[in-house]
Structure 1
Amino acid sequence: MPEYLIYFNQQWVGDHTPEWFGQRAPLAKAVVDEMKTAGVYVFAGGLEEDGPIYTADPNSGDVLITDGPYVESKEFLGGLTVVDVPDDEVAKLWAGKVAEACGWPQEVRLFGRHPDA
C-alpha cells in the first residue's frame, strides 16, 4: 500500500498553555492507538523545538556537517506521522483525526515510489 506523510509546521500550533497541551496529549495518543489497531501505523512523533539540528551538505566535495538548518526559514517541521493506507481518501481521513486530536492543521503528502532494492 502507499505510504503517506501527515505533518505540521511548528508555527501552525499557536500559543497555548501547558494545561491545553496536556489535554491534547491523550487525544493524540488515542489516534495513534487507533492507527495501530487499524494496521495503518508506521511512525509518529514530534520534533524537539530547541533540540539539536544538524545539516549534512555534500556540495563541497566532502560531506560537511554543521549545526543548524541549512536555510533560514520562518517555518520548520514540528512533527510527523507516517501511515500505510490504500489511497488519498483514507490518508485524508487519518489526517483529519490527527488534526482534531492535536488541535492544529496537518498536511498530507504521498511518498514517492520506493527505490528498487
Structure 2
Amino acid sequence: MRYTFLLYSNPADFADLTPEDWAKEKEVYGAYIGALQEAGVFVDTDWLHPAETATTITLKDGEKRVQDGPFAETKETLGGFFAIDVPDLDAALAWAEKCPAAKHGKIEIRASAMGDY
C-alpha cells in the first residue's frame, strides 16, 4: 500500500540556520532516503519552496481565481513529502517515526486512494 507523508513545520524554526546547519539537515535527510531505498519502500520525495512563494487557483462556482501565496495562513506549512510503499499503516508509522521532520514538525500520513475510485 502506498502512503504519503506530508511534512509540516514552522518556517520560523529554520530562520536562523546557517549554511552549515542546512548541510547537516541535508545529510540527515539523505541518510533517511538511503534507508528507505535500502528497505525497498521508497517511492518519491520532494522539498518545497516556502509557502509564501505558492500560487493558489480555484475554479469554484465556475469563476477562475488566482491568489499569490498559500491557501491558508498558518504558522505551520507544508514543506515537502515522502511517498513510500509498505504493507500497512503500522509500517508507515514506523517509517514516519524515523523521518527527521518528526523532530521539528508534524507528519500527516495518508494512504493513497488511487485504487479506490
Deviation >4 Å, runs of 4+ = none
Per the alignment, residue 114 of structure 1 pairs with 114
- Does structure 1 residue 14 correspond to structure 2 residue 13? yes
**Structure 1 or 2: larger helix share?**
2
The C-alpha deviation readout for 1:65-115, integer Å capped at 9, x for no partner, is 332223322321012111111112211221122127x84244242225225
Identity of matched residues, %? 27
Per the alignment, residue 78 of structure 1 pairs with 79
Whether contact under 8 Å (1:6, 1:109) holds in the other structure is: yes
CA RMSD for the aligned pairs? 2.7
Whether contact under 8 Å (2:52, 2:70) holds in the other structure is: no
Q: Secondary structure at the match of 2:44?
A: strand
Inter-partner Cα distance in structure 2 for 1:51 and 1:108: 21
Alpha-carbon offset, residue 50 of structure 1? 6.3
Q: Which letter maps to 1:111?
A: A
**Structure 1 or 2: larger strand share?**
2
Inter-partner Cα distance in structure 1 for 2:38 and 2:68: 39
Inter-partner Cα distance in structure 2 for 1:29 and 1:111: 24
Whether contact under 8 Å (2:4, 2:83) holds in the other structure is: yes
Q: Which TM-score applies when normalising by structure 1? A: 0.76
For structure 2, which runs of at least 5 residues remain unmatched after alignment?
A: none
Per the alignment, residue 5 of structure 1 pairs with 4
Per the alignment, residue 40 of structure 1 pairs with 41
Q: Which TM-score applies when normalising by structure 2? A: 0.76
Whether contact under 8 Å (1:98, 1:106) holds in the other structure is: no
For structure 1, which runs of at least 5 residues remain unmatched after alignment?
A: none
